[in-house]
Amino acid sequence: MHKLWLQSFSNEMPLLNSPEEVARWELSQFHDASFSVCLRPEMGDGFEIDGDIITGGPTGVLYGAYTALFSSLTGKKHLKMRSEPAYRLRMLDFWDNLDGSVERGYAGRSLFFDHGGLHYDPQRIRFLARLLASCGINAVCINNVNVLFEAQRLMEDLLPDVAELAGLFRPFGIRLMLSCDFALPIRHGLPTADPLDQTVQDFWRSIAEKIWNAIPDFAGFVVKADSEHRPGPFTYGRSHAEGANMLGDAVEPFGGVVVWRAFVYNCQQDWRDTTTDRPKAAYEHYMPLDGAFHDNVLLQIKNGPFDFQVREPISPLLLSLRKTHLALEFQLTQEYTGHQIDIYSMPGLFSETFAQIPRGQLSAVAAVANIGRDDNYVGHPFAALNLFAYGCMAWQPDLSPRQVTELWCHLTYPSLSASCEEKLVQLLMDSREIYEKYTAPLGLCWMVNPGFHYGPSPDGYEYQSWGTYHKADRNAVGIDRTAQGTGYVLQYPPEIQKRYADPAVCPDHLLLFFHRVPYQAVMSDGRTLIQRIYDDHFEGCEAVDAMSQTLCQIAPSLPEDDSRVCLDRMEKQKLNAREWRDVVNTFFHRLSGADDAKGRKIYD
Amino acid sequence: MHKLWLQSFSNEMPLLNSPEEVARWELSQFHDASFSVCLRPEMGDGFEIDGDIITGGPTGVLYGAYTALFSSLTGKKHLKMRSEPAYRLRMLDFWDNLDGSVERGYAGRSLFFDHGGLHYDPQRIRFLARLLASCGINAVCINNVNVLFEAQRLMEDLLPDVAELAGLFRPFGIRLMLSCDFALPIRHGLPTADPLDQTVQDFWRSIAEKIWNAIPDFAGFVVKADSEHRPGPFTYGRSHAEGANMLGDAVEPFGGVVVWRAFVYNCQQDWRDTTTDRPKAAYEHYMPLDGAFHDNVLLQIKNGPFDFQVREPISPLLLSLRKTHLALEFQLTQEYTGHQIDIYSMPGLFSETFAQIPRGQLSAVAAVANIGRDDNYVGHPFAALNLFAYGCMAWQPDLSPRQVTELWCHLTYPSLSASCEEKLVQLLMDSREIYEKYTAPLGLCWMVNPGFHYGPSPDGYEYQSWGTYHKADRNAVGIDRTAQGTGYVLQYPPEIQKRYADPAVCPDHLLLFFHRVPYQAVMSDGRTLIQRIYDDHFEGCEAVDAMSQTLCQIAPSLPEDDSRVCLDRMEKQKLNAREWRDVVNTFFHRLSGADDAKGRKIYD
């Protein structure tokens, strides 16, 4: 069994009952250091390390133990530190279905489900829980936010099985959540799911009671309502505050929360309609509701205004809501970023995103899991970095991408030489920008194959109903989202507006997100836009070749399985990069007629 | 139950044992005429009608009976005629899978299969057989040419069920065929499927023996080999003649035939590769094998060199093979021609195709069925015309499209007024050209949504591996397939080459199939190419609106179910036509920058 970043940890953990027991056991296995543990219940998740003494709350001692052990493994001794998490709730959302499939999953089938019910290897679940705890994650939502019919049974006859699963996570300080279907009452014979209907409220209260009876530390619900054909309060003419608060009230007596996804937009837009601009949708919908949500309701907002594209500006809603509890949502599973075939490391994304959000603005963080039944849990061995970094940075958002990448490399491949480790760290650090260069240019987004979302299709979404257009023609490309255009930029605070609204100061990697730019326009570095597109794509592809060479140097030092998988997928990534380069360059060459200044091959 | 064109026929047919019995019974039900039947075995399918005497072979009397009755129903009395079919074998190929799905089916699920086995309503099968016999079809291949795993069982444990089904078709002069998997021997534990291996030959001989034991009038096999990932002789370094002849030899003692599909091309082409031109593939592959196929092997060739596009030139292979038995294949199911939502009548296609093929060049005709479990068998009531016309014209290829359309209308809607019937005939006659105008322009093909094949996606196949490119750029569109280009045109006989090779004489509807033409090039009627593209799309869409108005006039005179389905689908066709118009016009406007001379709305 692959141990990911717990390489140096023992495999033989007995059944234990609490985070404190786990902490003590983990510490006891490392014989070159000896720690004592001191429990202070009031410290909660927090902990202090002072030399060989770890003091912390009921879960804090566990986080303290991993921190101390990771430090010890990286050669740091005599630590003196105090730590508590930046966000109380650090969630991992699985998009797993009961038939064992995983929506947007690239690491094998579900670890939890198969054949319409719970179906798992307890050993693997316990190891997963240990992995998650070791990087600070404290809640998992086990089923897809798109709650397919069967999954409703998790709150019904399958509840005892869910409770059993919760028991496997509990000693690791991890609480379970479930995605719920807003229309569940109707399945139970009620004539309506109207949140203001008393029988509906009673129904949810009784569901909550049953769940908390079975799972006393259950964390709460995740809800995707009125989004991409999911049912929701709109059906009954109610607001999302009314819908979410009704559920919030139902779980309130049990200390539960409702995580309400803000992913609401018109997914049946007419491409001819230029008055609707999808990135504006969430802000327009939720800003008027600021202050209307109850205290145990969290609004979960994706990092960008679209949907986990390779590069998006931060969602303006994350910056603007003042009286609503917010959860920031990332996507670890690489739906748009290479399907865990291509290397795309996210610490930089996490860091940049957290840096833009004022301290105190968020109550929670969430991420869509990249996990499945593959031996290494994540498909590509290096994709584990994204999971690890997410956990670490959800705890401590100001960790630098390099710090966390180095730590992950060292823990995962402890026997790597310093020079190999440095090469691997740099490869991972560079991977995001490289992926960006050979795929969609300069913030365009959505040039992927529809549905599948791997590989290029420049016009693939151009005439569809998803509100995702670039409107490339023979002269120019991009959407004007300034005040003169769709006005999207006006949703940002004034100082950010200024940066994005002026093409002269707008960061290059978002230029075509905010502006419509002629191919012959001259960019800040003196190149034309079209030349920049060509250059990025040629350079991105060359960089993958260079990355491949570096990987070949590192590979002999990696464990055999990792080496094989990495090299095999790198061959696919090279093909993918070449495909992106040529398709995007040809697409824009056909439109613009502009030749490459450097005379490189662009196909007809 | 919908009776399609047998509207005036009785529903109460008893179980009968032979085509002669069916003929006598059908005739006995019509009380305003009285025919006598005279069997002359040597006449086979052929028949004579002389007033009230029908003389014919064992199946001929049945065809004679339907001909006499159809004539009588259309008011023609005292017929004196003699007829025999142009082609001995008139096949209908079902793409039905054993799970009940139908590949490219738009008329509901399979009439034959469900849940992994035979599963049908004998009454419906018998009525289907009667329909098919009434228009002259004499063989049906019941399973998908893409033989999925389960379907292999049709030649194994499900053979008795197939034999039972054959018994339902037999009284109507219809023989069964099966699609077979070239790799079947391997499933049975043989180490190879090499056609030159003696054990493989013995295997197929024994399979054939079992089948003919169970179904003495079984007609033979249909084979899709080495095509779109299907197994075939190439795996063993053998030619298609060697593969097909091996199967031919296996069925020869039983009088069976092997219908070998010539649909072989590289479906993993690199779009950058301009030296490969998919339409050339079949000719290049099969011309060198002319004369190498045994006498009971038929090479089945699609009408065009691509794949049933809205408009293709005739396949040059159909014109060039001299020493090979040929079957011409049409596709009734409207995969690329509107999914039986849009109206697209095919008599014109059949007529034009037959007219181009010298008499005697073909041994058989085949068509992919448009049939499913829908009440009216074909989804759109008017789609029945394509089935009927195919049968009639496979018998008598020089029937005019108007003749056959009038006959179908009269038989299907006997109570329609003459003026309504004339309107309906004209609507159907015009429907093909209208569909062509609002979809892909001037022979371009493949601008459909990938996979699904309904609705527009101009660049949808442009960067894929299927060999289907238009290479539209800012200046021009189309592929040069002349001697100066890919050389495809050289596969035609000289007089046809001349017509296609010169853009000045090449028919407009194939212009962009054979030539790369600048948008500003002036066409024969004085319009530029780009203006012609715009005009066609605006006019095609307007024509659908007009068609819709006509339909509204006819609808009250149609049976209620037909009226409802037709009107409902017409609304969808109108949306589809508008979508095609706008997407294609916008696509070419973005590329060309040319404005519409008439100032109509083209979206950005």
- Identify which of B456, B471, B474 has the shortest CB distance to residue A591: B474
What is the distance in angstroms between the Cα of B169 and the nearest Cα belonging to chain A?
A: 40
Parts of chain A belonging to CATH 3.90.1330.10: 417-479+516-604
Q: What pLDDT, on a 0 to 100 scale, did the predictor assign at position B575?
A: 98
What single letter denotes the amino acid at residue A33? Answer: A
The stretch B22-43 carries a mean pLDDT of 93
In A, minimum Cα distance to B580 occurs at A463
- Using the predicted structure, report yes or no on whether residue B441 has a pLDDT greater than 90: no
> What is the C-alpha to C-alpha distance for residues B399 and B357, in angstroms, rounded to an integer?
15
Catalytic residue among B26, B93, B194, B307: B307
Q: How far apart are the first and last CA of chain B?
A: 49
Q: Is residue B77 very low, low, confident or very high in pLDDT (cuts 50, 70, 90)?
A: confident
The stretch B44-71 carries a mean pLDDT of 97
- Identify which of A274, A456, A590 has the shortest CB distance to residue B473: A590
Q: What pLDDT, on a 0 to 100 scale, did the predictor assign at position B230?
A: 85
- A474 in reach of chain B (CB within 8 A): yes
Q: Do B474 and A593 touch (CB under 8 A)?
A: yes
Q: Find, among B426, B385, B387, B430, the residue nearest to B408 by Cα.
A: B385
- Identify which of A272, A460, A590 has the shortest CB distance to residue B474: A590
What is the distance in angstroms between the Cα of B368 and the nearest Cα belonging to chain A?
A: 29
> What is the C-alpha to C-alpha distance for residues B342 and B566, in angstroms, rounded to an integer?
10
For chain A, give the mean pLDDT. Answer: 96
CA A404, distance to chain mean position in Å, is: 16
Which CATH topology does A417-479+516-604 take? Alpha-d-glucuronidase, C-terminal Domain (3.90.1330)
What is the distance in angstroms between the Cα of B444 and the nearest Cα belonging to chain A?
A: 17
Residue keyed to tokens 């549905």? A451
Residue B255 backbone class (left: φ over 0; alpha: ψ -120 to 50; beta: rest): left
Name A567's Cβ contacts closer than 8 Å, sequence gap at least 6.
Answer: A551, A552, A555
- Annotation says B335 is catalytic: yes
Q: Find, among A154, A130, A140, the residue nearest to A95 by Cα.
A: A140
Q: What pLDDT, on a 0 to 100 scale, did the predictor assign at position A475?
A: 98
Per DSSP, B15 falls in state P
- B79 in reach of chain A (CB within 8 A): no
CA dihedral B382, B387, B390, B393 (to 10 degrees): -70
Disruptive mutation site among A268, A474, A584 for chain B (greatest number of B CBs within 10 Å): A474
What is the distance in angstroms between the Cα of A591 and the nearest Cα belonging to chain B?
A: 5
Catalytic residue among A96, A226, A307, A312: A307
- CB atoms near residue A81 (< 10 Å): 12
Catalytic residue among B335, B374, B421, B536: B335
CA A198, distance to chain mean position in Å, is: 36
- CB atoms near residue A520 (< 10 Å): 13
Q: What pLDDT, on a 0 to 100 scale, did the predictor assign at position B78?
A: 87
**What is the percentage of chain B residues whose pLDDT exceeds 90?**
95
Tokens of B135: 């228009």
Q: Do A471 and B604 touch (CB under 8 A)?
A: yes
Buried b (16+ CB within 10 A) or exposed e, B483-516: eebbebbebbeeebbeebbebeebeebbbbbbbb
> Which residues in chain A touch residue B474, judged by CB atoms under 8 angstroms apart?
474, 590-593
**Cβ neighbourhood burial of A288 (10 Å; 0-12, 13-18, 19+):** exposed
Q: Do A593 and B475 touch (CB under 8 A)?
A: yes
Which CATH topology does A89-412 take? TIM Barrel (3.20.20)
Q: What pLDDT, on a 0 to 100 scale, did the predictor assign at position B578?
A: 98
> What is the C-alpha to C-alpha distance for residues A307 and B408, in angstroms, rounded to an integer?
53
> Which residues in chain B touch residue A590, judged by CB atoms under 8 angstroms apart?
471-474, 591
DSSP string spanning B291-340?
A: T-S-TTEEEEEESSSSSS-SS-PPPHHHHH-SSSEEEEEEE-S-TTTTTT
The list of chain A residues with pLDDT below 50 reads none
Contact B1, B124 (CB under 8 A): yes
Three-class SS state of B466: coil
- Identify which of B271, B474, B582 has the shortest CB distance to residue A272: B582
Tokens of A440: 């969609």
Catalytic residue among A197, A228, A430, A539: A228
Q: What is the ipTM of this complex?
A: 0.92
Quote the longest CA-to-CA distance of chain A.
Answer: 71
> Which residues in chain A touch residue B459, judged by CB atoms under 8 angstroms apart?
457-460, 587
Q: Is residue B73 very low, low, confident or very high in pLDDT (cuts 50, 70, 90)?
A: very high
- Identify which of B463, B589, B603 has the shortest CB distance to residue A456: B463
Q: What pLDDT, on a 0 to 100 scale, did the predictor assign at position B512?
A: 98
- Using the predicted structure, report yes or no on whether residue B154 has a pLDDT greater than 80: yes
- A593 in reach of chain B (CB within 8 A): yes
Quote the longest CA-to-CA distance of chain B.
Answer: 71
Q: Do A459 and B459 touch (CB under 8 A)?
A: yes
CATH no. of B441-479+516-592: 3.90.1330.10
Q: What pLDDT, on a 0 to 100 scale, did the predictor assign at position A236?
A: 94
Parts of chain B belonging to CATH 3.30.160: 4-83
Q: What pLDDT, on a 0 to 100 scale, did the predictor assign at position B554?
A: 97
In A, minimum Cα distance to B463 occurs at A583
**Cβ neighbourhood burial of A198 (10 Å; 0-12, 13-18, 19+):** exposed
How many alpha carbons lie under 13 Å from residue A124 in its C-beta half-sphere?
A: 16
> Which residues in chain A touch residue B587, judged by CB atoms under 8 angstroms apart?
459
Q: What pLDDT, on a 0 to 100 scale, did the predictor assign at position B259?
A: 98
The stretch B420-435 carries a mean pLDDT of 98
Parts of chain A belonging to CATH 3.20.20.80: 89-412
- CB atoms near residue A398 (< 10 Å): 11
Structural class in CATH, domain B4-83: alpha beta
> What is the C-alpha to C-alpha distance for residues A45 and A249, in angstroms, rounded to an integer?
26
Q: Find, among A88, A581, A572, A587, the residue nearest to A334 by Cα.
A: A572
Q: Do B473 and A582 touch (CB under 8 A)?
A: no
Contact A541, A436 (CB under 8 A): no
Disruptive mutation site among B273, B473, B475 for chain A (greatest number of A CBs within 10 Å): B473
Q: Is residue B524 very low, low, confident or very high in pLDDT (cuts 50, 70, 90)?
A: confident
> Which residues in chain A touch residue B471, judged by CB atoms under 8 angstroms apart?
590, 604
Tokens of A482: 């300034």
Find the helix or strand (DSSP H, E) in which B260 lies: strand B257-261
Q: Classify the C-alpha dihedral A116-A117-A123-A124 as positive or negative.
A: positive
> What is the C-alpha to C-alpha distance for residues A33 and A28, in angstroms, rounded to an integer?
9
What is the distance in angstroms between the Cα of B228 and the nearest Cα belonging to chain A?
A: 20
Q: What pLDDT, on a 0 to 100 scale, did the predictor assign at position B423?
A: 98
How much of chain B is helix, strand and coil, in % rounded to 5? Answer: 45, 10, 45
Task: Kindly report, residue by residue over B92-135, the tens digit of the pLDDT.
Answer: 999 999 999 999 999 999 999 999 999 999 999 999 999 999 99
Q: Do B474 and A474 touch (CB under 8 A)?
A: yes
> Which residues in chain B touch residue A582, judged by CB atoms under 8 angstroms apart?
272
DSSP string spanning B504-531?
A: TTS-GGGHHHH--EETT-B-TTS-BHHH
Name A360's Cβ contacts closer than 8 Å, sequence gap at least 6.
Answer: none
Q: Do A586 and B274 touch (CB under 8 A)?
A: no
Residue keyed to tokens 């303006």? A316
CA dihedral B557, B558, B560, B561 (to 10 degrees): -170
Q: Do B474 and A603 touch (CB under 8 A)?
A: no
> Which residues in chain B touch residue A472, judged by CB atoms under 8 angstroms apart?
590
> What is the C-alpha to C-alpha distance for residues B346 and B333, in angstroms, rounded to an integer?
11
Name A149's Cβ contacts closer than 8 Å, sequence gap at least 6.
Answer: none
